[in-house]
Amino acid sequence: MRFEVLCIFPDMVKDAFQTGVTGRASGEGLISIDTVNIRDYSTNSYGSIDGYTYGGGAGMVMQCEPVYAAYCEALKRLDKKPGQVRVVYMTPVGHVFNQARAEEFAKEEELIFLCGHYEGIDERVIDEIVTDRISIGDYVLTGGEVSALVVMDAVSRLIPGVLHNDESAATESFGADGLLEYPQYTRPDVWHDKEVPKVLLSGDHLKVDQYRMREMRRVTREYRPDLYEEYMRKRGIN
Ligand code: ADE
């Protein structure tokens, strides 16, 4: 998987990505990340890439041309033509990102991310180049870099080989049954007078599985009643 990120804080994106699992995976050549600094494509002598909002209102809007030129640079690096690579615009005005979307993106060979700032980006260039408008949740960030990192992280761990066996073996939240993951414990058996649930030390795999399933239902019901309702609905239980 090759990621190209169009943004104004390239170091922020590269530094975060070169850490931890994604850093290791890029060292192993399983994924790669490259950035295009939209500021390098200013069309004026001041080096600015934004302008006032037509129609009035607070805040500045990123102009079409610097964004488009940055997009063309990314396409050139990928040796692709317009329309051949999905362009994901990170914005609160988009589909909310989830595991299903991560799985869909992980099937691509390349992805271009467009990160906005200020009040947003001129709608015309969005219309021209963007294929997916994605939000990471119902809150507003100062820019799209952090949200692009969230999406790239979730996509990267789905690329074969990125997670090593011990990391991928765990039952995951948002797996096929749509429940959240059960709580986990490790040594020591007692810590601050708190004991590890006895069933986990019993060696009875059937009982452990049943216990974990109950816990998955309990935490999902408690923290994500929306997911729990969906889980019950799919099983025909109201
Ligand atoms: N940029 C600013 N807020 C965002 C959000 N909630 N999701 C994605 N990108 C954003």
Residue 116 CA: which ligand 1 atom is closest?
A: 1
Do domains 2-156 and 172-234 share one topology? The answer is no
C-alpha to C-alpha distance for 69 and 63, rounded to whole angstroms: 11
Distance 93 CA to ligand 1 centre (A): 8
C-alpha to C-alpha distance for 147 and 128, rounded to whole angstroms: 22
23 touches 132 (CB < 8 A):
no
> pLDDT by residue (tens digit) across 64-96?
999 999 999 999 999 999 999 999 999 999 999
Predicted pLDDT of residue 173: 79
Domain segments of the chain: what residues? 2-156, 172-234
**Contacts for 45-50 with beta carbons within 8 Å, 24 or more apart?**
49/8, 50/117, 50/118
Residue 171: pLDDT band with limits 50, 70, 90: low
3 touches 111 (CB < 8 A):
yes
Q: Which pTM does this prediction carry?
A: 0.94
Residue 139 CA: which ligand 1 atom is closest?
A: 6
- Torsion angles phi and psi, residue 149, rounded to 5: -65, -40
Residue 237: pLDDT band with limits 50, 70, 90: confident
Predicted pLDDT of residue 169: 41
Mean pLDDT over all residues of the chain?
Answer: 95
Judge: domain 2-156, CATH 3.40.50.2300. no
Residues touching ligand 1 (Cβ under 6 Å) are 90-92, 135-137, 139-141, 144, 147
C-alpha to C-alpha distance for 16 and 9, rounded to whole angstroms: 11
> pLDDT by residue (tens digit) across 90-126?
999 999 999 999 999 999 999 999 999 988 999 999 9
Tell me the fold of 172-234. Trp Operon Repressor; Chain A (1.10.1270)
71 touches 85 (CB < 8 A):
no
